[in-house]
Amino acid sequence: MDSAGQRRLQVYRSHLTPSRMPSKEGLVQQKTSNPKKALLENQEAIYNQNLLRELDWESRKAKFKNGISPLNPGQNLIMRPLNIGDYDLGFLQILGQLTSVGDVSRQTFEERFHAMKRCPGTYYITVIEDVGSSQIIGTATLVVEQKFIHSASSRGRIEDVVVSDLYRGKQLGKLLVETLNLLGKHVGCYKMSLECKDDNIPFYEGLGYKNEDQNFMVIRYKD
């Protein structure tokens, strides 16, 4: 792992003091004489990194081996919000292992990123980065829908869960989903839901989801 990767591990895994804590916009305020390192450490995040530190991990439904948690996803790995610079770290390529992404330019990516960020409390796109290779190797999204029902509560939806085929079998998919489950509860969702194939039902049942025999219907305008 290079020095930039080691530094990012320290930034994301250490218990930050108030003087080093990310701002509301998710910027890690760290001074450095290395422009490349500054770019990596001071990127704009789509939500506040500190939310991951505030989760009640002890209330999780699933069991994990080897002390795996949001703050310790594995050797050389960090879990964090999507950053504006993740276009260069293979974020879209990881999504391409799940479904068709299409031709998304840097400009389009950044415009969509900022559009999502302008809806605070809605898009919690979370990634796992291998800081040794500087690549995004997993991601999942929590989308929070504001409701009038249930005393003007919110509903959470888990979407776009994918882990690189090179990193499967390391509990990372389970970790992403369980983290977003707890995040949804933390931000006030009255329920969480997702869609999955029949083969994946046992996996999600192990994370607390139940099949309520409701039909999922869709109209597709594009493949």
Q: Is the pLDDT of residue 94 over 90?
A: yes
Domain span holding position 145: 3-205
pLDDT of 34 > 90? The answer is: no
SS3 content of the chain, % helix, strand, coil (to 5): 35, 20, 45
**pLDDT classification of 26: cutoffs 50, 70, 90:** very low
In a domain, 213, yes or no: no
Rounded Cα distance, 136 and 129, in Å: 4
Q: Is residue 140 part of a domain?
A: yes
Mean pLDDT of 34-50: 67
Residue 212 confidence (pLDDT) above 90 = no
Residue 185 lies in a domain: yes
Whether residue 68 is contained in a domain is answered as yes
For the residues 25-50, what does the mean pLDDT come to?
57
User: Residue 18 above 50 pLDDT?
Assistant: no
CA distances from 159 to 72, 145, 176 (A): 23, 13, 11
Q: Is residue 211 part of a domain?
A: no
pLDDT for position 38: 43
Number of domains in the chain: 1
pLDDT of 24 > 70? The answer is: no
Cβ(77)–Cβ(128) below 8 Å: yes
- pLDDT 10s digits, 123-146: 999 999 999 999 999 999 999 999
Domain with residue 10: its CATH number is 3.40.630.30
Asked if the structure places residue 52 within a domain, the reply is yes
How far CA 58 is from CA of 54, 73, 118, 141, 186, in Å, comes to 11, 16, 32, 22, 13
11 — pLDDT class (breaks 50, 70, 90): low
pTM higher than 0.85: no
Token pair for residue 133?
Answer: 């290779």
**H-only helix segments in the chain:** 3-13, 35-41, 50-53, 91-95, 106-117, 149-152, 172-186, 201-205
Decide if 216 is inside a domain: no
Evaluate whether residue 158 is within a structural domain: yes
Confidence of residue 1 (pLDDT cuts 50, 70, 90): low
